[in-house]
Amino acid sequence: MRRISFLLFFPAILFAQEKSTTNVRQQGKYDTNKFSQMYDLLATPNMFRTASGAPGPAYYQQQADYKIDVELDDKNSKLTGSETIIYSNNSPDNLEYLWVQLDQNQAKKNTQTTLAESEKISQVLPVSGFSNKYLKEGLERGFNIDYVKDAKGNPMSYTVNETMMRINLVTPLKAGEKISFSIKWWYNINNYRQDGGRSGYELFEKDGNKLYVIAQFYPRMAVYNDVEGWQNMQFWGGGEFALPFGNFDVNITVPADHVMEATGELMNRSEVFTPEQVKRYELAQKSYDKPVIIVTQAEAEVAEKGFSEKKKTWKFSAKNVRDFGIATSRKFIYDAMAVKLGAKTVMAASVYPKEANPLWEETSTRVVAHTLKSYSSHTFDYPYPKAVSVSAEDQGMEYPMICWNYGRPDENGVTSKEMKNGMIGVVIHEVGHNFFPMIVNSDERQWSWMDEGLNSFLEYLAEQELDPNFPSRRGPAKNIVPYMSGDQKFLEPIMSNSETIHQFGNNAYGKPATGLNILREVVMGRELFDYAFKTYANRWKFKHPTPEDFFRTMEDASAVDLDWFFRGWFYSTDFVDIGIKDVKQYYVSETATPELKNAKIKKGRFGFEKGPFVYLIEGENKEIKKSDKKALKIDEVKLLSDYVADTFTAEEKANLKAPKYFYEVEFNKPGGMIMPILVEITYEDETKEEFKYPAQIWRKNNDTAKKVYATEKAIKSIQIDPKLLTADIDVTNNAWPKVEVKSKFD
């Protein structure tokens, strides 16, 4: 069983949520206490993971080290490889077998992935789409395993189940022991622009060249941990990856005219670059203000015409990474610059074909450098030696130290503003993934939001730091409103498995990013949020956190009770809708109306006030004369003037407030999601004043809340959430007097 403490409750959570939503819309009432602590939802703390959200004294994680040799057959688009894996069992358990991931098998013919997808006829298709779907014989995909051998070269028993391979051990791998074994394999590399996927090649038909972005290219160890045991959930194509950390030594043989970048440090630079290119790279290592072009466009244009028959081997070494990615092509231009992070210098780099210029030469590496600085300031200094952005059209995918990103000019080299902003956003996002999940190593297969959502939030901060007017897609609260106000049939809680989500981008990226932004700007404030978020990042860098670890750390490091927020925002599909139900004005009187004559006012715990009393009479009360409805002047109310004269010193009198107008504002909450109330009052002289009431204002009444305003100036209007910071789905009830809100049509 996986995560028993959580999964046993999950169907009940969904049922309760559906029931709650029905009540919201039919009755305006709720079945559950929105402020109850999350003991029913979170796993029980233990020696592995503490109640504070930190790793416990018994926390462990496995290690998988790889020595890999691969060769690219460019003519046939085929990859052949062999690897030796040294697997360290740091757990307290004896392991009867090992699980290895074969993610390329997700694209095999008749795989469960395609069989599990519902299909329908598309009545309008481009010619290429129709041909690829119905006429073309598909490429033979997936891993072909030549052998699995132990350290002595003897065959090992194994069983392949779709995208997972179980290696059957003759004797269990005991706690604290290591095992070494080898695998040899090959597979056909796909044209990802035709077949889809996170890796493959892009074909340039004009010159016949291919640009390869190669990932999931080797059998990879699955995670074994204290939460699930073996994380051997199948790869269905949506939920991404869960991997242990390790050290990689990888030799990659490609045509001699290729230029390459990959995870890790290049160990034989002088063998694969010309002496002039090596000098340019050394110059780039000292260039902190702008990139240095290492492989020029002219050099790339010469190489792309050659189609060398010779080979060249690039050697990379990477320490403490969870995965490995490769980008190679004879079309690559290459530039780089240095980035200062604390006491360390990191290289930001880009590789791209001439078709990506001038956009990429002007933009990519500078954005990489900015991203490293921004993310480091909010988490920890980037620990790896480099970060590389690869131009790969129709891509946006991340691996340690390297990522593929879309965005190119048109054939005339002209880039629209929308395309440039899109390219900048995806570079920030994919480079940012180095932090989440490449270093803060969450389980993407199960919890997409833990990498995509947290990363999208930091992407938003980086975009706004780059340009305060950058058109960020995810992060601003108003941008998530269309999703959260949508049909409940197509909404799931954020805490849903990756493969069960209808609107993946909104659920795993947009809503978590927005939630974190609301926590930072509305609920916690930047100082408390930033400290807690940085605490989480540092506690769990190079480790495997769970959602509970994040939720608990955010509270532990801030002293802010956030269970109400996480319960509503992450575990339900409740939406925010706060309105102004009523506004009443009151006037001061010495004369009581009949209903107030017998009023009793408590004095202390046991007694009652005997008077005299000042009465606040509602403006609509018929018994108060129109002439008496005027602004308060203290000296005109004898009781008040006598009390002030007899009670306060001259200095105290000078500091007394002098409210003239009295208002009672009743707020209501048609939406199910708890949220602070943000109020902006505009006075008759057009001055404004802002008020913020914490979410706890709803703790004893989930439907309405009231606040009293004693003001020196008459109130002209009241507005809830004027800056659209809370994702309120209905702003038509946010103003008093009521303001006509323009429709989308208008």
Q: What is the pLDDT of residues 174-229, one digit of tens each?
A: 999 999 999 999 999 999 998 888 899 999 999 999 999 999 999 999 999 999 99
9: pLDDT confidence band, cut at 50, 70 and 90? very low
pLDDT band with cut points at 50, 70 and 90 for residue 497: confident
Please answer whether residues 190 and 203 qualify as being in contact, where contact means their C-beta atoms are separated by less than 8 angstroms: no
Per-residue pLDDT band at 29 (split at 50, 70, 90): very low
* pLDDT given at position 18: 39
pLDDT digits (tens, 9 = 90+) for 144-158: 999 999 999 999 999
Q: Is 489 helix (H, G, I), strand (E, B) or coil?
A: helix
Would the pLDDT of 745 be above 60?
A: no
For the segment 465-478, the average pLDDT, to the nearest whole number, is 96
Q: Give the lowest-confidence range in 267-276, 384-393, 614-623.
A: 614-623
* Calpha distance 46→55 (Å, rounded): 10
pLDDT-above-70 percentage for the chain: 92
Residue 69 in this model has a pLDDT that exceeds 80: yes
Average pLDDT over residues 281-287: 98
Residue-wise DSSP of 178-208: EEEEEEEEEEEPPBHHHH--SSEEEEETTTT
Predicted confidence (pLDDT) per residue in 612-667, tens digit? 787 788 887 665 666 566 777 777 677 777 777 778 888 887 888 878 889 999 99
Q: Lowest mean pLDDT: which of 50-54, 242-246, 635-639? A: 635-639
Q: How far is it, in rounded angstroms, from Cα 261 to Cα 349?
A: 9
Residue 433 pLDDT more than 90?
A: yes
**Which residues have CB under 8 Å from 97's CB, separation 6+?**
166, 167, 168, 169
Rounded to the nearest integer, the mean pLDDT of the chain is: 90
pLDDT band at 132; cut points 50, 70, 90: confident
Position 24 pLDDT exceeds 50: no
Residues 225, 155 contacting (CB under 8 angstroms): no
- Tell me the C-alpha distance between 83 and 68, whole Å: 4
Kindly tell me if the per-residue pLDDT of 425 is higher than 80.
yes
What pLDDT is stored for residue 379 in this prediction?
98
Statement: residue 255 has pLDDT above 70: yes
Predicted confidence (pLDDT) at residue 441 exceeds the cutoff of 80: yes
Using DSSP's 3-state secondary structure scheme, residue 589 falls into strand
pLDDT at position 6 over 60: no
Q: How many C-beta atoms surround the C-beta of residue 53 within 10 A?
A: 24
Task: Please tell me the predicted confidence (pLDDT) of residue 3.
Answer: 35
Which helix (H) or strand (E) is 282 found in, with range? Answer: helix 275-284
Q: Is the pLDDT of residue 415 over 90?
A: yes
- Tell me: the pLDDT tens digits for 555-597? 999 999 999 999 999 999 999 999 999 999 988 877 777 778 7
Please give the full DSSP string across 234-259, using - where no structure is assigned: ---SSS-----BEEEEEEEEEETT-E
Given a cut of 90, whether residue 136 has pLDDT beyond it is no
Lowest mean pLDDT among 30-34, 165-169, 188-192: 30-34
pLDDT, one tens digit per residue, over 445-466 is 899 999 999 999 999 999 999 9
